[in-house]
Amino acid sequence: MTTLSYHLLDVFTDRPFAGNPLAAVEDADGLSALEMQAIAREFNLSETVFLLEPRDPAHSARLRIFTPAAELPFAGHPTVGAAILLAETRAGDLLSRHGVAVALECALGVIRCEALRSRSGVTYAELTLPTTPETLEGAPSPETLAEALSLAPGDIGFGEHAPAIHAAGPAFVYAPIVSRAVLDRARPSSRFSAVIGRAAGVYLYTRETVAPESAIYARMLAHGLGIDEDPATGSAAAAFAAVAARFERPEDGEHELFIEQGYAMGRPSRITLRMTVEKGALARVAIGGQAVRVAEGRLL
């Protein structure tokens, strides 16, 4: 009987049973895409990552990432989780002393990650995107977006922030919301799919946060991924750099933002977003977070 090892991790958190749960299946080269999709449906988590032999032996692994309904070219929490898993299982001694570099191949390109274990024993990994996020046309009006989210038109927008579409892999509709209370009561209406179109979901965000050091509080209502809502969405957090650059116009230099997500689901998560601005434009985007392993087993 062929068996495959798997691990369950909670990503973008420093403790078990918070953050975004992830299944990571090792040595998955013998699986077809249909088998990977079936296994992802079996785990029924927001994403399952499959670790394969890299095409370039200088890299650590090749990743394929599946939601219960579709394969994704890139996703943040599977990439951060895979980097932490590989660093802990392959280079645990180095990890505690001075960190480990991990290079992961995915459909978006080669993702380079740095992993470091803290004194508390929890590992943090940060990945740098190979390109800066895209800005896409066709963002819905505040009135149309409000209808899709079961909100009032006045609930959409604050300051200079308006609906937008950006992508760092999957595309998301970004919906600025006036307050956390309004954001938490947002629900997809019968118009949701028609308004969202081909985007992977709506990323709702507000400046009203739980922790004072956080920049935004967010939710991601998914579309076509086989889940209703995601506890922590790394690819959406990465593309939020384009939102911040567009509407906040930060000065040149490096900026660090902390993003809260998952609170409405009872899975509090924290994502670190780093963005470098040069001559008024985004030059570099990185996201990071902690993860803890909570279970392991074998697929028969």
272-300 in b/e form (b: 16+ CB < 10 A) is bbbbbbeeeebeebbbbbbbbbeeeeebe
DSSP 155: G
Nearest Cα to 289, choosing from 78, 64, 61, 49?
78
Cα 232 from chain centroid? 6
Q: Identify whether 143 is a catalytic site residue.
A: no
Selecting among 26, 35, 42, 47, the annotated active-site residue is 47
In sequence order, the 6+-apart residues with CB closer than 8 A to the CB of 22 are 8, 9, 10, 11, 45, 47, 48, 49, 77, 78, 81, 291
Helix spans in 130-261 (H): 142-148, 180-185, 192-196, 234-248
Nearest Cα to 259, choosing from 208, 220, 215, 205?
215
Length of the chain, please?
Answer: 300
Which regions of the chain does DSSP assign to beta strands (E)?
Answer: 4-11, 20-25, 47-52, 61-66, 71-72, 100-106, 109-117, 123-128, 134-136, 164-167, 171-176, 201-206, 216-222, 229-230, 253-261, 269-278, 281-299
> For residue 45, which phi and psi values (nearest 5 degrees)?
-95, 170
Looking at residue 135, its amino acid is T
In sequence order, the 6+-apart residues with CB closer than 8 A to the CB of 98 are none
> For residue 36, which phi and psi values (nearest 5 degrees)?
-60, -45
Catalytic annotation, residues: 47
